Amino acid sequence: STDSLNTGINSILKIVVDRQGTPFVTGQLAGNSFLGKPVQISGAQDSILARLNPATGEPVWTTAPVSTGTETIFDLGLDSAGNLYLVG
């Protein structure tokens, strides 16, 4: 919703989809909510990784690196076994 986007900076930079059609996204966050789901960050701005519900687009889970600095995830990928890889 528009209200959830107003609680901080939300940006999606990369999207990958597994064989079951589940999207995983990475982006940047400055605030306390990513697409409406509460998130705890340590720095002023952090990278975020989220698994989205393929039917609704809402986050199933989110995670952010724990550091007082600013992190950036540059790329995201899946291998044939479904393992998720991040480059940052």
Q: Are 13 and 27 in contact (CB under 8 A)?
A: yes
Strands 59-63 and 46-52: antiparallel
Which positions ≥6 away from 65 have C-beta within 8 Å? 42, 46, 47, 71
pLDDT at 1: 46
Please write the tens of the pLDDT for every residue from 37-78. 777 776 667 788 899 999 998 889 888 766 666 677 888 999
**Token output for 29:** 């966050």
Residue 3 has pLDDT above 60, yes or no: no
Q: Closest by alpha carbon to 40, among 15, 65, 71, 69?
A: 65
Residue 4 has pLDDT above 80, yes or no: no
- Residue 37 vs residue 8, higher pLDDT: 37
